[in-house]
Amino acid sequence: MKRAAALLALGLTLGGCGLRPLYTAGGAGPVANALGQVDVAPIEGKSGWLVSNALRDRLGAGGTSQARYRLDVKLDDRIIGLAVRSDNSVTRERRTLRARYQLVALDSGTVVLDATAGSDAGIDVVTSEYATIAAESTALERLSDIVADQIVARVALYARNESLRK
């Protein structure tokens, strides 16, 4: 009984704080509709292929002819050595994936959103070169998903704000 009262009180306080769900009305809402109208421009390289696939999966866009926006993404993928032994061999690496992206309104050619996203991951360098390469590749896959999530979240916020202005 106390737990139910506490949850009810928490629910009432959240309603007054100004938080609103991003995806109001689910898949038929204005944010979901706007995300489905975003076409992802091709992105260079393996990291570009991974990020563009992740973006298409999250946006629900399949290159439809009803696209109202184009998402242009430029990636910076780097691996740097962090820990070095006395014999100058690297034992730890950091892989960073940064994205500069622009959301372009196709009807006017105007950039309506210009932002960045990024993340990094640590990689242990082991004696097996194959294991190190596999770890670097796995890190890139994870980073691509994280960056795509950040981009879609920011585009969704833009879409929600635009729907509120109308």
Q: Which two tokens stand for residue 125?
A: 């360098």
Q: Which two tokens stand for residue 110?
A: 């105007």
pLDDT of residue 160: 85
70: which strand partners?
Answer: 39, 104
Alpha helices, H only, 1-44: 2-15, 30-35
The reported pTM is: 0.81
pLDDT of residue 33: 84
pLDDT of residue 66: 83
Which domains does the chain show, CATH number per domain?
27-165 (3.30.160.150)
49-to-62, 67, 70, 141 alpha-carbon distances in Å: 15, 20, 16, 10
pLDDT of residue 64: 52
pLDDT digit of tens for each residue in the chain (166 aa)? 677 666 666 666 665 555 555 555 555 567 888 888 999 999 999 999 999 999 999 998 554 558 899 999 999 999 999 888 888 889 999 999 999 999 999 999 999 999 999 999 999 999 899 999 999 999 999 999 999 999 999 999 998 888 766 6
pLDDT of residue 12: 61
